[in-house]
């Protein structure tokens, strides 16, 4: 433990600070808990004050009932996101000056840690961690929480009032903060948040801009400016502030698709070529964020197809398949993109490749029928499509495929009419369209 | 993480691979007690690194409590497919021999702790340092933003 190298007085203060604190470890896996527990006890948390939860619902109950001061959670708890618990923790401690929330995550790139930057989560612990990293990080956070200054007192109070929607109180405390000149960037940022909560969007952007003028690297103000200008469809401004942010900080991989959209709306097409190259090169090195990369590659490929660069479009989509980790929503998007760009054979190959994994999924079945219809495989369309149409699970395209294939194969008139009837019942806005299929 | 981007004006030019790369190791495992090898390194997740032990998550039936294991660590991603457990003497990876001291079943997987009996502390410590340095990069990023 790192305490051996620390000033005993500091250690005593830390022990004292943590002596009455209650901690909760949220993790469904049977690892790490003993190390985290050991570290908490060594730091001064009483063993009887440490609790465990293996699901978010249990964790929520414990946080609220026992007013847990310190939450250390895995990023994924029984397929739910551990970071959601910050909302519950914030309700118990709207003033974050002494509350601690730490996220442990398998995604261990610096960019992945950006997911917590605009939340009230205090720290991000990358896995696998060492006992030393765990202790160092925890002690750093505790020492930060032990700091008392005029600035921090008012800073936390303003944020608390904003969270509780007590905007008059927030404004009063903000006036106190305005007197402390060293932190004007933070003060303008908080002013922006108050204005935003008041619903004065334009005024809030002016405050965030003032914050960035004082400190061009103010992350939270930069993010607000990017979001705000995007919402106002001022994409050039959003691009400009994204540039300022990216100059100093990486981007949360989950937000990479937003970056691509921003380049597209700003017609920065050179970006797209570079993004595709960048994401392809990252694929193997980012196992935890591969799906965000895959989604980004799909967006790039759409741009290539739309700009007659078919070869690069196909290549980029195939890269996306590799990075998709078989995630259905991304595969669906990839296959649809192939179909939309008249590459049905490739779409079918990918579908077949992932059939053992998703073959029974209704979305996958619908896609298969759609592709077989394009490839004029009437028999498969009818064999697999009729049961879906009969049971009412078919979408519009599948109804169309089954009806047209039935007509082509001269199925009984009553069967075709029955299918049209079902299609019209399910899609009343397309009654005429389905009728017109038979007339033709 | 600072970049010299004075002359650049495209977002894509500011993406830095180092920020997005995850740090990982692939582990090949031989159960010396049962005489079987487990080469499906993608199914082994490192959970925690200790001074002279290691916590892993892996499929059931690979080992039991008290079993002796030989592990070889390689930097991820592994560039070649490995069909046979490599020779400990000539491998380019980091070989470690240890004993399973904890074995907890967690649904379809097990979590084990392996206490090292034969290993090179300098190599192991430098591996620990790599992960600690990655955490320091993350912490430095967070401290720039959080008050």
Q: What is the pLDDT of residue A1?
A: 62
Residue from A2, A4, A31, A236 to probe the interface with B (highest B Cβ count within 10 Å): A31
pLDDT tens digits for A48-77?
A: 999 999 999 999 999 999 999 999 999 999
Residue (of A231, A157, A223, A228) closest to A195 by Cα position: A228
Cross-chain Cβ contact B142/A113 below 8 Å: yes
- CA B119, chain centre distance (Å): 15
Read off the pLDDT band of B4 (50, 70, 90): very low
Q: What is the pLDDT of residue B1?
A: 46
Residue from A76, A133, A265 to probe the interface with B (highest B Cβ count within 10 Å): A133
Q: What is the ipTM of this complex?
A: 0.89
A308 backbone dihedrals φ, ψ, rounded to 5°: 60, 20
Q: Mean pLDDT over residues A423-432, rounded?
A: 90
Which is more confident, B2 or A56? A56
Residues 69-98 of B with CB under 8 A from A: 76-77
Q: Could you give the residue ranges of the DSSP H alpha helices within A147-268?
A: 150-163, 167-178, 184-197, 201-214, 219-231, 235-248, 256-265
pLDDT tens digits for A393-421?
A: 889 999 999 999 999 998 998 999 999 99
In the predicted structure, residue A157 carries a pLDDT above the cut 90: yes
Q: Mean pLDDT over residues A173-198, rounded?
A: 94
In the predicted structure, residue A119 carries a pLDDT above the cut 70: yes
pLDDT tens digits for B47-59?
A: 999 999 999 999 9
CA A147, CA A33: separation in Å to the nearest integer? 28
Are A23 and A51 within 8 A, CB to CB? yes
Residue (of A264, A208, A203) closest to A239 by Cα position: A264
How much of chain A exceeds pLDDT 70, in percent?
97
Give kind and range of the element (H or E) at residue A317. helix A310-323
Among chain B residues, CA nearest to A276: B12
Cross-chain Cβ contact B142/A123 below 8 Å: yes
The answer to whether residue B10 neighbours chain A at the CB level (below 8 Å) is yes
In the predicted structure, residue B91 carries a pLDDT above the cut 50: yes
Highest mean pLDDT among A75-89, A309-323, A415-429: A75-89
Instruction: Compute the half-sphere exposure of residue B46: CA atoms within 13 Å on the CB side of its CA.
Output: 28
Of A25-29, A191-195, A201-205, B129-133, the one with minimum mean pLDDT is: A25-29
Among chain B residues, CA nearest to A284: B77
In the predicted structure, residue B3 carries a pLDDT above the cut 60: no
Does B96 reside within a domain?
A: yes
For helices A33-43 and A8-18, angle between their N-to-C axes, nearest 10 degrees: 110
Q: Which residues contact B31 (CB under 8 A, 6 or more apart)?
A: B37, B38, B62, B63, B67, B68, B69
Read off the pLDDT band of A287 (50, 70, 90): low
Average pLDDT over chain B, rounded to an integer: 89
In the predicted structure, residue B81 carries a pLDDT above the cut 80: no
**Which chain B residues touch A275 with a CB distance below 8 Å?**
12, 15
Read off the pLDDT band of A215 (50, 70, 90): very high
Does B31 reside within a domain?
A: yes
CATH number of the CATH domain containing B43: 2.40.10.220
Average pLDDT over chain A, rounded to an integer: 91
In the predicted structure, residue A283 carries a pLDDT above the cut 90: no
What is the residue-wise DSSP string for chain B? Answer: -----TT---GGGG--HHHHPPP-EEEEEEETTTTEEE--GGG-EEEEE-SSEEEEEEETTS--TT-EEEEEEEESSPSS---SPPPTTT-SSEEEEEEEEEEEEETTEEEEEEEEEE--HHHHHHHHHHHHHHHHHHHHHHHHH--
CA A147, CA A129: separation in Å to the nearest integer? 26
A29 backbone dihedrals φ, ψ, rounded to 5°: -85, 150
Residue (of A416, A406, A298) closest to A350 by Cα position: A298
Are A216 and A193 within 8 A, CB to CB? no
Among chain A residues, CA nearest to B12: A271
Q: What is the pLDDT of residue A260?
A: 87
Cross-chain Cβ contact B5/A124 below 8 Å: no
* Domain with B67 in it: 24-78+89-119
Domain ranges of chain A: 2-147, 148-244, 252-347, 359-440
Q: What is the pLDDT of residue B29?
A: 96
Does B143 reside within a domain?
A: no
Q: What is the pLDDT of residue B83?
A: 83
Q: Mean pLDDT over residues B29-57, rounded?
A: 93
Highest mean pLDDT among A28-42, A190-204, A324-338: A190-204
Q: What is the pLDDT of residue B2?
A: 46
Does B138 reside within a domain?
A: no
Q: Mean pLDDT over residues A210-218, rounded?
A: 97
CA A383, CA A381: separation in Å to the nearest integer? 6
Are A305 and A313 within 8 A, CB to CB? yes
- Assigned CATH for A2-147: 3.40.50.2300
**In the structure encoding, which two tokens stand for residue A113, read together?**
């840690």
Read off the pLDDT band of A296 (50, 70, 90): confident
CA A270, CA A7: separation in Å to the nearest integer? 55
Q: Are strands A100-105 and A70-74 parallel, antiparallel or unpaired?
A: parallel
Does B114 reside within a domain?
A: yes
At the fourth CATH level, which superfamily is domain A148-244? Tetratricopeptide repeat domain (1.25.40.10)
Number of structural domains in chain B = 1
Edge-to-edge strand ranges of the sheet holding A123-126 = A50-53, A23-26, A70-74, A100-105, A123-126
End-to-end CA distance of chain B: 19
Residue (of A102, A109, A57) closest to A79 by Cα position: A57
In the predicted structure, residue A288 carries a pLDDT above the cut 80: no
Does B9 reside within a domain?
A: no
Cross-chain Cβ contact A219/B9 below 8 Å: no
In the predicted structure, residue B104 carries a pLDDT above the cut 50: yes
Does B139 reside within a domain?
A: no
For CA atoms A85, A83, A81, A118, the dihedral sign is positive
The answer to whether residue B48 neighbours chain A at the CB level (below 8 Å) is yes
Q: What is the pLDDT of residue B90?
A: 80
Q: What is the pLDDT of residue A390?
A: 85
The answer to whether residue A374 neighbours chain B at the CB level (below 8 Å) is no
In the predicted structure, residue A152 carries a pLDDT above the cut 90: yes
CA B145, CA B147: separation in Å to the nearest integer? 7
Cross-chain Cβ contact A243/B16 below 8 Å: no
Nearest to A249 among B1, B104, B132 (CB): B1
Residues 127-186 of A with CB under 8 A from B: 127-133, 137, 140, 144, 152, 155, 186
The answer to whether residue B101 neighbours chain A at the CB level (below 8 Å) is no
């Amino acid at each position: 433990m790192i305490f051996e190298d620390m000033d005993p007085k500091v250690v005593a203060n830390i022990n004292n600070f943590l002596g009455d604190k209650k901690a909760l470890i949220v993790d469904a896996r049977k690892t790490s808990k003993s190390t985290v527990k050991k570290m908490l006890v060594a730091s001064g948390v009483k063993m009887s004050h440490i609790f465990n939860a293996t699901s978010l619902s249990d964790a929520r109950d414990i946080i609220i009932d026992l007013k847990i001061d310190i939450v250390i959670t895995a990023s994924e708890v029984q397929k739910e996101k551990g970071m959601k618990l910050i909302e519950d923790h914030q309700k118990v401690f709207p003033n974050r000056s002494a509350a601690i929330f730490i996220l442990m995550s398998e995604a261990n790139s610096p960019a992945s840690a950006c997911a917590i930057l605009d939340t009230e989560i205090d720290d991000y612990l990358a896995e696998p961690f060492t006992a030393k990293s765990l202790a160092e990080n925890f002690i750093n956070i505790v020492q930060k929480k032990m700091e008392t200054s005029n600035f921090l007192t008012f800073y936390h109070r303003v944020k608390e009032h904003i969270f509780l929607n007590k905007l008059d109180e927030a404004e009063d405390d903000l006036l106190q903060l305005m007197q402390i000149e060293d932190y004007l960037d933070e003060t303008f940022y908080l002013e922006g948040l108050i204005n935003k909560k008041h619903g004065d969007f334009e005024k809030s952007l002016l405050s965030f801009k003032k914050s960035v003028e004082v400190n061009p690297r103010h992350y939270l103000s930069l993010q607000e400016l990017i979001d705000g200008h995007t919402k106002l469809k001022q994409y050039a401004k959003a691009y400009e502030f994204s540039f300022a942010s990216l100059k100093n900080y990486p981007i949360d991989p989950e937000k990479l698709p937003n970056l691509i959209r921003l380049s597209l709306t700003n017609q920065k097409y050179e970006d797209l070529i570079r993004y595709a190259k960048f994401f392809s090169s990252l694929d193997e090195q980012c196992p935890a964020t591969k799906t965000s990369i895959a989604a980004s590659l799909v967006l790039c490929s759409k741009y290539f197809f739309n700009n007659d660069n078919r070869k690069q479009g196909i290549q980029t989509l195939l890269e996306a398949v590799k990075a998709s980790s078989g995630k259905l929503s991304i595969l669906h998007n990839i296959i649809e993109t192939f179909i939309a760009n008249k590459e049905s054979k490739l779409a079918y190959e990918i579908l077949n490749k992932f059939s053992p994994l998703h073959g029974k999924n209704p979305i996958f079945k619908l896609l298969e029928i759609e592709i077989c219809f394009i490839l004029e495989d009437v028999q498969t369309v009818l064999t697999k499509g009729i049961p879906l149409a009969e049971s009412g699970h078919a979408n519009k395209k599948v109804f169309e495929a089954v009806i047209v294939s039935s007509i082509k194969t001269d199925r009984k008139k009553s069967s075709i009419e029955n299918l049209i009837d079902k299609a019209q019942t399910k899609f009343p806005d397309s009654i005429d369209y389905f009728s017109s299929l038979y007339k033709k | 993480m600072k970049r010299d981007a004075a002359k650049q004006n495209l977002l894509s030019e500011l993406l830095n691979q180092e920020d997005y790369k995850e740090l990982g190791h692939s582990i090949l495992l031989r159960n010396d007690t049962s005489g079987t090898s487990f080469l499906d390194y993608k199914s082994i997740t490192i959970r925690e690194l200790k001074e002279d032990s290691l916590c892993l998550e892996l499929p059931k039936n690979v080992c039991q409590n008290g079993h002796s294991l030989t592990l070889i660590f390689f930097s991820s991603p592994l560039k070649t497919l490995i069909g046979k457990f490599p020779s400990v003497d000539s491998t380019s990876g980091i070989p470690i021999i240890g004993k399973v001291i904890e074995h907890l079943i967690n649904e379809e997987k097990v979590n084990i702790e392996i206490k090292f009996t034969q290993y090179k502390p300098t190599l192991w410590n430098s591996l620990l340092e790599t992960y600690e340095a990655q955490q320091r990069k993350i912490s430095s990023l967070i401290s720039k933003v959080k008050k």
